[in-house]
Amino acid sequence: MSETGIHPSSYRDPSGFVFRSGNTMYRQVNPVYRDHYDHLMQSGLYEKLTQKKWLIPHTETDGQSLGAKDYYKILLPQQIPFISFPYEWTFPMLQDAALRTLKVMRISLDHDMILKDATPYNIQWLDNRMQLIDTLSFEKYEENKPWIAYRQFCECFLSPLLLMHYSKQPLQAMMLAYPEGIPLEIARSMLPWRSRFSLYTWMHIHLHAKYAGKHKGENEQRAHISKKKLLALVDSLQSLIKSLKPGIRQSTWGAYYEEASTREGYFAAKNDIITNWVNKQEGIHTATDFGANDGHFSRIVAAKGIHTIAMDADVLAISSLYEQLKKEKEVSIQPLLSDLSNPAPAIGVNNQERDSLITRIANRDLGLALALIHHLCIGRNIPFTALAGFFASSCRKLIIEFVPVNDPKSQQLLLNKKNIYGWYHAEGFEKAFSRYFRILDKTQVTGTERVLYLMERAS
C-alpha cells in the first residue's frame, strides 16, 4: 500500500493507522498491537460495545489484495457518511461524547482493558448516538497503573464544558484554537474563583493543574491507583459532567419557524413547494441544509432516507435539534454548528489532519438554502458571486429562497446600517447564480415577495 493512502491524521499511534482504498476506509492493526486486539475481541468487550452501538463494528478482511504490508489484521469498519469535529458540536453534543467516553472506559475496566486515548476526535454522531470510532483506543489493563488518558480527557472534554458552563457562552472556537485540548493551566486561570467550591472541579482541574507540573504525564506515570479508585475517578468525572449546563440565553433565530408560521399562508405554501420539489428529485442520497434552524426542512429530506447535514450558526437551534433527534431516534440527520461566513478551516500538520468544512461538504446531491441568503449578503456583506460559487462546489442541486430587500427580515438586518446594497435584487441574484446553475423552476411564496428557486449545477 502506498503512503498516500494513509489518512493524514493517522500518524500518532504505532498500534495502527487508517487508510483509504478507492472510496473505502480501512484500519490496519500493526503486529505491536496484537495482544491488545486479541483481548478486545476475545474478552467479550468488543461484542458488548458494538451491541450497544457505543463502538462502530468492523469485519476482518484480506490485506494482501489491498497492498497492505507489515500488518497483523486489516479491518473494514462501518463506514461513516460524514465526519464532524468537536468545534462544530453544541454543548449537549460534547457533553454526550464525554459521557460516552466514560461509559466505554467503565465497561472496558470490567473486561480488564482501559482506554489509552480519550479525545472527542475519536467520537462521532452515528446512528442516533455518540459512538467510538477508534478500535485501537483500547489496551490491556495493568493493575495499579494510572489512566494514561486522564489528562487528555480533562483537557479535551472537561475544560471546554466547564468554561462554557461558567461563562454561559458558546466557546467552540477555543476547541479550534486548542485542538489537543484546552490546557489545564489555561482552564484553571479562566474559571471563576467560585468553581473551586465544586469538589470535582477543584479536583479534576485546579488540583490536577497544580500537580501536573511542567513535565506532562510524568506525575501520572509515577502514580499507583487501584482499579477500585480508577472506577471512582470515572464516576466522579461522570457526576461532574452530568451536572453541567450550557446556560445560553434565547437567540435571535431560535424560534424563527414558530414566528414564520404566524405569517398568513407563507409557511404552509413554502412547505408544500419544497416537499413537492424534493419528492420529484431522483438520485439524491446526500443533502445539506445550510440554514437548518429547527430542522423542519431537513426532516422532509431525511424522510426519504437521504443522509442530511442540518447546519446552522445558531447554538440554541442546533442544541434543540440535537435533543429532538435523540428523542425521535432519527438516524439520517447530522446536526452541525457552523457559521457559513466563517466555516471551520483545515487544521493540523500541513493543514491536512482535519479537513475544512468546505472540503467535507463538497459535491453533495442536494442543498437547501432557505431564508438564509439575506443574512449572508446583507448581514455579512457577501456578494452573490461568492455564494453562487460556494453552493456550486457544495451541491449538485439547490433549493434556495431569495428574500428581497423590502422583506421585513431584510429590513431588520438593515437597521443601524448604511444601505450599500443596491446590487441586492432578484435580477442580480439570478445573473450570479446562472453562471454556475441552471434554473429549473421558480415560485413566489404566497403572501410574500420571496421566491423559491430549484436549480441544477451546470455541467
- Report the CATH number at residue 160: 1.10.510
Using alpha carbons, select from 423, 369, 362 the residue that is nearest to residue 392: 362
Using alpha carbons, select from 360, 358, 357, 348 the residue that is nearest to residue 8: 348
Verify that 330 and 423 share a domain, yes or no.
yes
Q: Which of 197, 227, 249 is the last residue of a domain?
A: 249
Q: Which three cell numbers stand for residue 82?
A: 460524514
pLDDT at 4 (0 to 100) = 45
pLDDT at 3 (0 to 100) = 43
Residue 12, domain extent? 1-249
pLDDT at 189 (0 to 100) = 97
- Is residue 77 a contact partner of residue 25, using CB atoms and an 8 Å limit? yes
How far apart are the C-alpha atoms of 257 and 121, rounded to whole Å?
33
The angle that helices 91-110 and 159-167 make with each other, rounded to 10 degrees, is: 140
Verify that 307 and 215 share a domain, yes or no.
no
Count Cβ atoms within 10 A of the Cβ of residue 184 and give its class: 0-12 exposed, 13-18 middle, 19 or more buried.
buried
pTM: 0.94
pLDDT at 116 (0 to 100) = 97
Verify that 240 and 292 share a domain, yes or no.
no
Q: Which three cell numbers stand for residue 319?
A: 442544541
Name the amino acid, one letter, at 279.
Answer: N
Q: Which of 249, 265, 287 is the last residue of a domain?
A: 249
Q: Are strands 364-369 and 286-289 parallel, antiparallel or unpaired?
A: parallel
pLDDT at 430 (0 to 100) = 98
362-371 b/e (C-beta count within 10 Å ≥ 16 → b): eebbbbbbbb
pLDDT at 224 (0 to 100) = 84
Verify that 53 and 167 share a domain, yes or no.
yes
Q: Which three cell numbers stand for residue 448?
A: 410574500
How far apart are the C-alpha atoms of 129 and 119, rounded to whole Å?
17
Number of domains into which the chain is organized: 2
pLDDT at 303 (0 to 100) = 97
How far apart are the C-alpha atoms of 298 and 424, rounded to whole Å?
27
DSSP assignments along 233-247, one per residue: HHHHHHHHHHH----
DSSP assignments along 158-205, one per residue: IHHHHHHHHH-S--HHHHHH-TT---HHHHHHHS-GGGGGSHHHIIII
- Report the CATH number at residue 438: 3.40.50.150
pLDDT at 7 (0 to 100) = 84
pLDDT at 2 (0 to 100) = 42
Residues 6+ apart with CB under 8 A from 310: 289, 292, 295, 298, 318, 321, 333, 334, 335, 336
pLDDT for 115-143, tens place per residue? 999 999 999 999 999 999 999 999 999 99
pLDDT at 219 (0 to 100) = 53
- Is residue 440 a contact partner of residue 390, using CB atoms and an 8 Å limit? no
- Which residues of the chain are modeled with pLDDT < 70? 1-4, 213-222, 249-263
pLDDT for 243-258, tens place per residue? 999 977 666 555 555 5
How far apart are the C-alpha atoms of 317 and 337, rounded to whole Å?
9
Q: Which of 225, 249, 273 is the last residue of a domain?
A: 249
How far apart are the C-alpha atoms of 392 and 363, rounded to whole Å?
8
